[in-house]
Amino acid sequence: MLIGDIRMRFLWKLIKWLVGLALILFLAAGLYAGNVAYEELFSAPWDQILGIENRKGELDRIHSLEARNGWQRVEVHSKDGTKLVGTYIPGESGTRNTVILLHGLYQNRTMCIPYANIYRRMGYNVLLADLRGHGESEGGHTDWGIHDVEDMNAWVSLLRSKNPQMQIGFHGVSLGAAMALIYSASDEGKQMKFYVADSSYGDLLDLGRDKLMKYTGDDRLVLGMDVLNPFFQAALYMHTGKLLSDIDPVNRVQHMTSPVLFLHGAKDQLVPPEVAELLLADSSSTNKKLYIFQGASHTMEMSANGPAYREYVTDFIKNT
């Protein structure tokens, strides 16, 4: 009987030791995989995964317009020293009204020229900004909101150096819209006059989950991403001090106070229009509106119905 008890205690200790070892190995493997996933967030070929044409280096048009019209090429440095480049277009003499325009993924500030014309007709100063990792701004990859609050602060500081009384709003398209919404929840972002968010995504993980599955043809990735999520978030926090909730627009809009206008295409297959409805519902702004453009695909609302787009934006800005 005594020998049997000894064997049972030994067996129980062995089982606990093996379970503990398995748990340690699982955590180690998870942390390693999470770190790999973190690195892939910035290095993956998102243009191929999302089916986006890469035009972030096509700058001939904006350079030509700067030279022809005397528009100012401007530079700032973000908090971490990264150089950011943009184009400043002065409005009516002495105006304090200013908009910062933010382009989409794998684009550059040239993309925002049609939107700039809306604000120029209202006499606004316009700043076209190259997002980090795009155009002439430094950074080797898309930043997905990790440093964009600091980047936007640098641009706001530049404008305030021109006129401390600048009344500043943001108009972003796709990735630029998401970055604007992330900024809207910051202490500095809450001081902005308005936000226009055209075709923003809501949740970064949701954006990647479906597109990665289609890109690889492996539906097991969905389960894998769910299992990997806590390890990915641990790696994200270890490297940046942020969690996904800090860089997901659907979370950040819950903390915004400025007026916001959401614009989206009914036939957007990259970011479904339901995302815009969710952003509207979750936004804590007391002045918020959403317009869905029938027949418009991702970021194509202006092409689908330019007059309506210009009217909605103009009326929103004037009433704000």
Same domain, 228 and 259: no
Same domain, 252 and 281: yes
pLDDT score for 210: 66
pLDDT score for 278: 97
| 213 within domain boundaries | no
What is the spatial distance between Cα 231 and Cα 226, in angstroms, rounded to a whole number? 10
Work out how many domains the chain is built from and give that number. 2
Return the structure tokens found at 96: 């304090």
What is the spatial distance between Cα 97 and Cα 90, in angstroms, rounded to a whole number? 10
Same domain, 30 and 119: no
Q: Check which CATH number belongs to the domain holding 106 and give it.
A: 3.40.50.1820
> Distances in Å between the alpha carbon of 289 and those of 145, 148, 177?
24, 24, 15
Same domain, 103 and 142: yes
Regarding pTM above 0.85, the answer is yes
CB 47 within 8 A of CB 54: yes
Same domain, 35 and 59: no
Same domain, 172 and 298: yes
What is the spatial distance between Cα 52 and Cα 159, in angstroms, rounded to a whole number? 32
Beta bridge partners of 89: 126
CB 249 within 8 A of CB 182: yes
Return the structure tokens found at 152: 């936007």
CA atoms within 13 A on the CB side of 163: 13
pLDDT, tens digit, for every residue of 126-158? 999 999 999 999 998 888 999 999 999 999 999
| 71 within domain boundaries | yes
Return the structure tokens found at 200: 């923003």
pLDDT score for 43: 80
Same domain, 9 and 107: no
> Distances in Å between the alpha carbon of 185 and those of 172, 249, 251, 260, 318?
15, 9, 9, 12, 23
Same domain, 108 and 171: yes
Return the structure tokens found at 32: 């390693």
CB 229 within 8 A of CB 294: no
Same domain, 61 and 10: no
What is the spatial distance between Cα 188 and Cα 191, in angstroms, rounded to a whole number? 6
pLDDT score for 52: 85
CB 271 within 8 A of CB 301: no
Q: Which stretches of 110-219 are DSSP H helices?
A: 113-121, 148-162, 175-184, 204-216
Same domain, 35 and 132: no
What is the spatial distance between Cα 117 and Cα 98, in angstroms, rounded to a whole number? 13
The number of residues in the chain equals 320
Q: Domain range for residue 296?
A: 53-203+248-319
Same domain, 135 and 189: yes
**Torsion sign (Cα): 266, 271, 273, 276:** negative
pLDDT score for 137: 97
Same domain, 156 and 94: yes
Beta strand segments in the chain, E = 72-77, 83-89, 97-102, 125-129, 167-173, 194-198, 260-265, 288-293
Pick out the chain residues at pLDDT < 50.
Answer: 220-221, 223
| 90 within domain boundaries | yes
pLDDT score for 25: 62
| 238 within domain boundaries | no
